Structure 1
Amino acid sequence: MAEYHILFVDDDSNLLMALRRQLRGKFEILTAAGGTSALKMFEEHDTIAVCVADMQMPNMNGLEFLEKIKKISPDTVRIMLTGNADQATAVDAINKGHIFRFFSKPYETADLERALSDGLRQHQLITAEKTLIQETLAGSVKLLTDVMAQLNPTVFGRSMKMKGWCDIIAKELEYPRPWELGIAALLCPIGIVALPPDILARLALGKPLQPLEKDLLRRTPEVGHKLISNIPRLEAVADMVLLQNRNFDGSGFPESGPSGENIPLGARILRIARDLADVGDGPEPTDIDFEVIGGKPHRYDPVLFSKIRTLLAVIDGEQEFPPEGLEMRVRIDNLREGDLLMTDLETMEDHVVLTHGNFISQVQLARIRVFQKAHDFREPVEVKRGVKRKRT
């Protein structure tokens, strides 16, 4: 517990000094004189597990401060001290500040110490569960994406591109759980695992499908929904995947379901991102791409479409390839894990093994080595080496 800090926020310097004396040797204490100073402490320290704030402070009261802390450091456990213990203050603190404990001045030191210990334990529970969930989800998602990359590199490349766009959208729109949207973007085509090998081969080569094959492809979100629903904590992601082709006017797949703003926000975002990925070849959507898909306005939430267009659209000809790194041309034998493909990796028979814009993973590199034994590749290929890959 000693590695985590407890931050006390109060405009009374004498009280802060007294708290330091009372709690010395028992907890790692930080103090700040007022909300503005305390916010700076959060910029300097990433180990603040518990924050104790006074209600009555100038410029920014305790409730306003704790609301800000909930946004910038949601895992920090929040406790309030107040000399004005009226019911309205307590109700607001609980409902708006989402506090863990509420203390009135004067307080018993022993009671405060117990609350601080409970707060530290609560923080441990929150962070331990979060770590476990992240590691479990990361492993499950990696397994599914590796399978998808093996089945159809082109489709996988599009989903990776969508993931990058959705990360930008989630940040700018303050999407409540951005990781869910990112995973949904990665896994939205996972239903293709249920398609017969001959259909997968036709998809990989860009060949037209027969009506029955098109219907099977159309229903892949249903398969994806069933697969993802088996992973704990991904229920919302599964719903987004199921409704990714549901149009804003209520048409599309599935045939029955929500329409308009009753469609989950994530699914409405995927509807736009998927169509953009289908019409555009570059790493970023152009204004022309938006014009093309905008010809079917019944598909999209008009307000959301306008916001995403403002966020993502680049004027054709002004695009820049974002990552830094050393650009080079290499033979297939010299490809390394972590290389960023600048051109498609394809065999002499025009089979695309991996599309440009993808980082080569350990699994993909092993797959390339297997392909080398039976196929000749077009080489050399252009890569960027030493690019810092963003964590998903």
Structure 2
Amino acid sequence: MIESQNNKNNRVLFVDDESNILDSFRRTLCKRFSVTTACGPLAGLDTVRDHPPFAVIVSDLKMPRMNGVEFLSEVRSLSPDTVRILLTGHADTESSVAAVNEGAIFRFLTKPCQTESLIRAIEAGIDQYHLVTSERELLRGTLRGSIKVLSEVLALTNPEAFGRSERIKRHMNALSSHFERPDALKLELAAMLCQIGCVTLTSEMLNKHIRGEELSGEEQQLFAMHPHVGYDLLTHIPRMRDVARIIQQQNVPLSEDKDMHFGARALKILLDYDMLASRGMAAGEALQYMQNTQSIYDPEILRAFRETILDQEVSVAGEMYLEDLRPGLIAAQNIETRDGMRLATKGQELSEACIARIRNFAKAYGLDEPIRMIVPDESTQSS
């Protein structure tokens, strides 16, 4: 969350090996900033780990066991957004300038430091911290908004493709947790948008492929192109190039590129499993079929997928009326109007836009109620 200008983070940590100096900082600056102190670099690192992010950390250079530059370098790994200020003696100016030039330190001040100079440096550091975090949150908000729009467009234009991507997303999240992937968000986005290129396909064409029916030459070419269409769409969004690359490679067998990103190898498994399940295969049968297919799938990911899908708890299913639908519910059946227009697919998680579409089309064309829905276990839902 972006902190307001009147409530922005003004937490400052002072680290020194002399307690009397720390006491002086606390007395002098406590009315301007939220001051925390730590006696020595090791205590400073523990404080960084155990507290919410500090906007600024001010460290002395000469301390036992770890000097200020080394300490602030560790801080950079633990809390990369925190602005780092180094206090030095006149004799240490050359090494301090080198630290600034290497990009690890925001500013250095020579001792003894005038109180007003220290205050100005800390205020500049707080402003820098606020600028960096605000810009990143703004970008994240823009990214989330872009992804939401793309997902809703897919849901409205090709419910079959959207429902498939929703099923894939849940499996991908389970794999990310299993492997403790640091790029879990990237993998979730790739799963959410793996079918975005299907906006160029009809639901009928996608259903034919999933059911294993023969596609015409032109249909085969269009289907083969949808990952590349998705790649072209997503490369226009900032910071989405890695996600776009995963999506571009989603149908590539492992034998063709053993250096593919984890996400692409996982998508190949999840998409093929979903296709087999849609053709009526039970989970164990589909997994055994895939395991017997050589050189196509990453064996480690396939083993993990077998564990995660067979361990998943069955969610509560029940019958609901249109007025009871809410975001987060999962369709336990295809939802169609009485004349056969598909509004949502089995396994699709309902969004507000999807529910509005279902209700609007139900009024216009009729829809048989109640509808079988799944209530997900809250402990398994992604944040």
1:289 and 1:102 map into 2 onto residues whose CA distance is: 62
Aligned to 2:307, the other structure's residue is in SS state coil
- Residues 59 and 86, structure 2, Cα contact 8 Å, conserved in 1: yes
1:382 maps to which residue?
Answer: 373
Task: Output the CA distance in 2 between the equivalents of 1:349 and 1:315.
Answer: 38
Change (3 A) 1:358 1:100: farther
Tell me the CA shift for residue 57 of structure 1. Answer: 5.3
Structure 2 CA distance for aligned equivalents of residues 236 and 340 of structure 1: 30
- Secondary structure of the residue aligned to 1:75 is coil
**Range that drifts further, 179-188 or 126-135:** 179-188
Higher mean displacement: 382-391 or 210-219 = 382-391
1:184 corresponding residue in structure 2: 190
* CA distance in 2: counterparts of 1:105 and 1:289, whole angstroms: 70
Alpha-carbon contact 1:3-1:28 (below 8 Å) kept: no
Number of the residue aligned with 1:363: 353
Which one of the candidate residues 225, 233, 245 is aligned to 1:239? 245
Alignment check: 8 A CA contact 1:167 1:178 kept: yes
How many angstroms does 1:129 deviate by?
A: 1.1
Instruction: Summarize the Cα distance change of 1:229–1:380 in structure 2 as closer, same or farther, 3 Å threshold.
Output: closer
CA separation of 1:130 and 1:156: change in aligned 2, threshold 3 A: same
Q: Does 1:314 align with 2:307?
A: yes
1:140 counterpart residue number: 146
Q: Distance in 1 between matches of 2:178 and 2:82?
A: 23
Amino acid at match of 1:341: I
Specify the alignment match of 2:326 in structure 1: 337
Greater Rg over alpha carbons, structure:
2
Deviations 1:254-285 (A, max 9, x none): xxxxx432x4454344334433444457xxx9
Q: What CA distance in whole angstroms lies between the structure 2 residues aligned with 1:81 and 1:290?
A: 61
Any conservation in 1 of the 2:322–2:370 contact (CA below 8 Å)? Answer: no
SS of equivalent to 1:337: coil
Q: Which residues of structure 2 form unaligned runs of 5+?
A: none
Deviation at 1:13, TM superposition (A): 1.9
Q: 1:8 aligns with which of 14, 18, 39?
A: 14
CA distance in 2, matches of 1:360, 1:49: 40
Question: What is the distance in 2 between the residues matched to 1:329 and 1:343?
Answer: 9
- Counterpart of 2:237 in 1: which secondary structure? coil
Contact 1:205–1:351 under 8 Å retained in 2: no
**Corresponding position of 2:258:** 260
Match among 218, 221, 226 for residue 220 of structure 1: 226
Are the counterparts in 1 of residues 197 and 229 from structure 2 also a CA contact under 8 Å?
yes
Q: Does 1:23 align with 2:67?
A: no
User: Structure 1 stretch 153-162 or stretch 125-134: which is displaced more?
Assistant: 153-162
CA gap 1:204/1:318 in 2 versus in 1, 3 angstroms: closer
Kept after mapping to 2: 8 A contact 1:153/1:355? yes
- Please, which of 39, 46, 57 is the counterpart of residue 52 of structure 2? 46
DSSP 3-state at the match of 2:343: strand
TM-score (norm 2): 0.77
- Shift of the 287–37 alpha-carbon distance from structure 1 to 2, 3 Å rule, reads farther
Task: Report the identity percentage.
Answer: 32
Maintained 8 Å contact 1:339/1:386: no
Q: Is the 8 A contact 2:12 2:35 kept in 1?
A: yes
The one-letter code of the counterpart of 1:319 is Q
Asked if the contact 1:332/1:377 (under 8 Å) is kept, the reply is no
Which residue number in structure 1 is paired with residue 169 of structure 2?
163
SS of the residue corresponding to residue 119 of structure 1 reads: helix
Task: Look up the equivalent residue of 2:135 and give its one-letter code.
Answer: E
- Corresponding position of 2:128: 122
- Deviation of 1:49 after TM superposition, in Å, equals 1.6
Counterpart code for 1:369 = R
Deviates more, 1:215-224 or 1:165-174: 165-174
**Aligned residue pairs: how many?**
371
Q: Hey, what's the Cα distance between the residues in 1 that align with 2:98 and 2:268?
A: 40
Distance 1:164 1:93, change over 3 A: farther
Superposed displacement of residue 152, structure 1: 3.2
Of 264, 267, 271, which residue of structure 2 is paired with 1:274? 271
Separation in 2 of the partners of 1:86 and 1:296?
65
The answer to which of 150-159 and 200-209 deviates more is 200-209
* Contact 1:341/1:358 (8 A) holds in 2: yes
Distance 1:173 1:339, change over 3 A: closer
CA deviation profile, 1:125-179 (whole Å, cap 9, x unmatched): 1111112111211111111111112233343233223334444555665656543
- The change in CA–CA distance for 1:26 and 1:165 in structure 2 (over 3 A counts) is same
Is the 2:159–2:344 contact (alpha carbons within 8 Å) kept by the matching residues of 1?
A: yes
Distance 1:245 1:56, change over 3 A: farther
Q: State how far apart, in whole Å, the 2-side matches of 1:195 and 1:211 are.
A: 14
Any unmatched runs of 5+ in structure 1?
A: 251-258
Structure 1 residue 28 displacement after superposition: 2.3
- The residue type equivalent to 1:246 in the other structure is V
Q: Distance in 2 between matches of 1:172 and 1:62?
A: 38
1:260 is aligned with what amino acid?
A: K
Distance, in Å, in 1 between the alignment partners of 2:160 and 2:365 is: 20
2-structure distance, mates of 1:35, 1:169: 38
Correspondence for 1:255: none
